[in-house]
Chain A
Amino acid sequence: MNWRPSRIDLLGLLVPLGLIVLWQLLSLHLASPLFPGPMKVAFAIVNNFNVIVKEIGHTLLRAAFGFALAAVLMIPLGVVLGRIPVIGRLLEPIMDMLATLPPPAIIPLVMLFAGTGDWAKIVIIAYAAAVPMLMNTYEASHSIHPMLNRVAKSLQLSRLETMLYIDLPSSLPMIATGARLAIASSLLVSVTSEMLLATNGIGVYLQRSQEYFRIDAGIAGLFFISLAGLLINAAMAKLERRWLFWHYRETSAD
């Protein structure tokens, strides 16, 4: 039983491997420094390993700060808005409108207010992470199961206690979904903001590679961004399964 899926996994590996071979052949055929093959990229990864790791460290650190800021502010706000429907309903259209505004579009605006330093970037990242966090928390806590409301009433919980002990825990699965979207968008905006407001980080590294015509080094950088994203996603999925085991238990019991 265990063997069959792994055979599919192995045969499936042929698809990306085939693409890499195709890429290598195409690059040999074109023989242009602007279109490096996988061999050259592999060498570039080895040669630039230290630089790339250092730069991507800056990027990830800022992304983490921005995300943490958004989580600390937006999860409580979302719960409060969900519990006080009058304000929530009024602000809903504003949230919808902010959701359609692409986060990178605010980069030039924040630049005017806050310059190009670390804090400007963290503000932009926090904004990008805030929208999905707020939307999901709000959505979860205002569509809470009516039974839970009655539980709160019969336990005579105050409004604050209801938010803390009922709304927050029962919204956690949806907050986790929001967090996953928010992490993806903080990483995206972190790189983008570096490319537009250059100081340091992997975004700057990519642009330098372009300016020096080192496309192979640039693709090596892309490889590391992808790797970082994969690792973060895997870690997130693991944490979710550990902390929200009750949620998965319930849904799988159905």
Chain B
Amino acid sequence: MMAIHALHRFRGAISILIVMGVWQIVFLFGLAPEKYFPSIFTVAASFADMLQNGDLAKAEFLTFTRALIGLVAAALLGILLAIISDLSPVLGRGIRYISDILQPIPPAALVPMAIFALGLGYKLYAFVIILVTVWPPYMNGVAALSSVSPVQVNTGRMFGCSRWDLLWRIKLPAAMPEIFTGIRYAATISLIAVIVSEMLAGRDGIGFMIFKKAFALRTADVFALMFVVAVSGVMLNGFTNMLRRFVTGWHIRMMERTE
């Protein structure tokens, strides 16, 4: 029992050790050519190298701020669209048509068409990220706003809330937990969109760096950069969770109490 408990507590560390162990074994036995599969220490060394000459920090700063700003803007826009859809069924149906058409288009496909109209600057990133990231918060927002329990809405009416009050003080807070599920999904998409746009626009950022290093056959650098991308994903997720705790803390506390 103790052993299982310890296992549960340290499973993060244990699983990382397992991955590193398997990695190192594959390397030591030469199962893959070293050129393509460097040892963990080489990867760590090239990570330290890139950290030291400042390239990495600069690229990561660019990529992360792009993803973060894009995510926040897309989340706000998504919530706005969901509110509009809730207020007017006709506009809501119209927005749904547009989202049905735009949603299946991958961010990579948008980049080449948008480069001429928007250039290689922040406008390109804003356009691509927002256009692909806005849908999950919007979809969840629409679903959540329309399924707020009638008891809550009627209680609000009884207290004499206006239409606006009803939306702002009852429906939106009740919908927030589900909207945040959408935002968390959007966080992943926003990072994908940034990296892909950087690879294709080819000027700066982590995505561009990965591609450049891969063409130069600097495998250790590529692995180190992928690690950085994964950490960025974790950080973006952490930021979303923090915001969720701040906005919908009441919901989380309530869920914990019932358990």
Contacts and interface: CB of A to CB of B under 8 A. Distances in A.
B207 interface: yes
Contacts of B219: 109, 112
Interface residues of A, number: 60
B121 interface: no
Nearest to B19: A94
A105 B214 contact: no
Chain B at the A interface: mostly helix, strand, loop or mixed? helix
Contacts of A103: 192
Interface stretch (A170-178, A219-227, A246-254): A219-227
A14 B19 CA distance: 54
Nearest to B97: A16
A128 B191 CA distance: 14
A34 B217 CA distance: 36
B15 A108 contact: no
A192 B115 CA distance: 16
A19 interface: yes
Interface string B204-239: 000100110111010100110010011001101100
B11 A89 contact: yes
B108 interface: yes
Contacts of A9: 93
Given A100-B191, A102-B233, A215-B117, 19 more contacts: A8-B89, A11-B90, A12-B90, A12-B96, A15-B98, A19-B98, A89-B11, A90-B14, A93-B15, A93-B16, A104-B199, A105-B207, A105-B229, A108-B222, A112-B36, A113-B36, A187-B106, A202-B109, A210-B113
23 contacts: A8-B90, A12-B92, A15-B94, A15-B95, A34-B116, A89-B7, A90-B11, A94-B15, A94-B18, A100-B191, A100-B237, A101-B230, A104-B108, A104-B195, A108-B210, A108-B222, A111-B214, A112-B217, A203-B108, A221-B109, A225-B109, A226-B101, A229-B104
Interface of B: 7-8, 11-12, 14-16, 18-19, 36, 89-98, 100-113, 115-117, 188, 191-192, 195-196, 199-200, 207, 210-211, 213-215, 217, 219, 222-223, 226, 229-230, 233-234, 236-237
